[in-house]
Structure 1
Amino acid sequence: MLKTVDVIKDHRCIRKYLQEDVPDSIIEEIIVCAQSMPNSLNGQQTSIIVVKDLEKRKVISQLSGNQPWIEEAPVFLVFIADFYKTHKGLVVAGENQIIETSGEGLLVGAVDVGIALGAAVIAGESLGLGVVPIGGIRNNPDEIIKLLKLPPKTFPIAGLVIGYPLDPSRKKPRLPLNTYLYKEEYNRNIIDKEIEKYNLIMERYLKEVGRESEKNWSIFLSKFYKKVYFPKVQKSLINQGFEFSS
């Protein structure tokens, strides 16, 4: 049996899946793992919506930028920053919640979702499943909110495709560890040189997997980060009550 650290280090995103259902018991096991993770103040301001309905997954696939694996895999999880739940808790205490109107609130919600998402990835892979996280559900957030009937003070942060792999995929190279692990303080002096070397590594990798059009890490990333690539997010957040007034 693989150790947990081996499962984590062997992660790769899967975008081709067998047409095989994932039992509800396994999905629940994954979600229990996600729920067991730490969260700010034990506020538990995360919820997960399991989407198995094919027609709904087709819609989500289109709204997320036409990502076919959302439709092809049997299960899609939507991770929600959920301050509606905490709002209801404060109502019981006779108090008025305002945390979602602050930048801190958004960070709390996003961080807690990230922790839960990471746990779901590890749990799924440890059970022999393939996964791929989907940030594209923020591409058309108002439509996702309507489709999933999300209440105010909630927001869909990320999704996770889950299924049995058809193709194990190639593990993608990462930047060297010295651009990720720093001792005592950030070392900006190494970044330019390490990026140059990493771009060469990625060029070879992309050629090997038939994705030469992406060129390298810098060029691919620039297509997204030179603009706000999900421009509807801020307005949708405000509509949901994340007003950033403090």
Structure 2
Amino acid sequence: MPLSAEVHDTAAERLAGLLRQRYRADPPAVDAPWSAAIDAILDHRSARAYLPGALPEGTLELLIAAAQSAPTSSNLQAWSVVAVSDPDHKARLAKLAGPNAQINEAPLFLVWIADLARARAIAGQYGVPGDGLDYIESFLLAALDAALAAQNAVVAADSLGLGTCYIGAIRNHPEAVAAELGLPPEAIAVFGLTVGKPDLARASDVKPRLPQASVLHRERYGASTRPDELAAYNGALRQFQAEQKMAPIDWTEQVSRRIGTSAALKGRERLTEVLRRLGFKLL
């Protein structure tokens, strides 16, 4: 059923507002229908402060059902997730990831696993060596599958009024994390995800993103580092930082610091050798 003119105008205004919020600039021209899913996605912001109390019964299972509804390469479903809610268990993982206070504060911490162990076991049941698992393609497939699944869970959480935040620092000490979670060979934690009811008194706003012209290429890759666009984005992010009472830094400087030296990777520069010790051959 087509939208009435009044409803269409309201939806169009809502969409334009969400886009303006995301880019902190005049929104791209989008003449498309609004939906609740688009609303949840465009309004996403990371939650780093949570209210006490467990999640409603069934929430975890619903988030995992959403995760399992994501696409998966060749239907291999080469991921797993470990749900951690025990305070002592979360505290040990938080120490390995920082320390990280929000892991302790969130009622639920999901650790997403690039998991080739299940496929290896199935290969053994069929009496085949599973040589295809030995290549970097298979590890990449598993990591991508985990990311796709987790992002589905994030969108589902947003739609339920929950907050989430990805924790890449779970890769700082991958062998210790694997031992903490009892992971088998050929399984590694690729990132964590805090989940909980966000504390709105300490809520973050929607963080602006690069202009679409910096990331959207049509037909062929074009220039993606135009100085004027990057300068405008630095300004938008500085405004966000001031509003959030964050230390001011240009995005371009932040990028240069993050990738400037191997030490900035905080131990993750050794990930290839760690993966091999955890059973991945990476041929």
Shorter-chain TM-score tier: over 0.9
Q: Deviations over 1:124-160 (max 9, x none)?
A: 1111100001111001101100000000011111111
The corresponding residue for 2:242 is 207
Q: Which of 182, 194, 201 is 2:217 aligned to?
A: 182
Matched, 1:3 2:36: yes
Aligned-pair CA distance for 1:63:
0.6
The answer to whether the aligner puts 1:108 opposite 2:141 as a matched pair is yes
Q: Which amino acid aligns with 1:219?
A: E
Cα pair 2:120 2:133 within 8 Å, conserved: no
Instruction: Tell whether the 8 Å contact from 1:21 to 1:74 is kept in structure 2 after alignment.
Output: yes
Asked if 1:66 is matched to 2:99, the reply is yes
User: Comparing 77-86 with 231-240, which one deviates more in the overlay?
Assistant: 231-240
Deviation at 1:212, TM superposition (A): 2.3
Structure 2 gaps of 5+ residues are: 1-34
1:221-232 to 2 correspondences below 5 Å: 221-228=255-262, 229=265, 230-232=268-270
Letter in 1 for 2:141: V
Structure-2 separation of matches of 1:238 and 1:51? 26
Aligned twin of 2:275? 237
Do the aligned partners of 1:19 and 1:72 also contact (CA within 8 Å) in 2? yes
The letter for the 1-side match of 2:214 is: T
Q: Is 1:219–2:227 an aligned residue pair?
A: no
Query: How far is 1:205 from its partner?
Result: 1.4
Corresponding residue of 2:229: 194
In structure 2, C-alpha distance between the alignment counterparts of 1:146 and 1:232, rounded to whole Å: 18
Structure 2 length normalisation: TM-score?
0.82
Displacement over 3 Å in runs of 4+:
189-192
Query: Whole-Å Cα distance in 1 between the matches of residues 139 and 159 of structure 2?
Result: 30
Shift of 1:162: 0.1
Structure 1 length as normaliser, TM-score?
0.94
Change (3 A) 1:147 1:24: farther
**Is the contact made by 1:206 and 1:216 (CA closer than 8 Å) also made in structure 2?**
no
Per-residue CA distance 1:6-39 (angstroms, 9 max, x = gap): 0000000000100021134011100111012111
Distance of 2:96 and 2:227 partners within structure 1: 36
Aligned-partner residue type, residue 111 of structure 2: V
Identity score, percent: 33
Matches within 5 A, 1:1-246: 3-167=36-200, 168-188=203-223, 191-213=226-248, 215-228=249-262, 229=265, 230-245=268-283
The answer to which of 199-208 and 8-17 deviates more is 199-208
In structure 1, the residue corresponding to 2:45 is in which secondary structure? coil
Unaligned runs of 5+ in 1: none
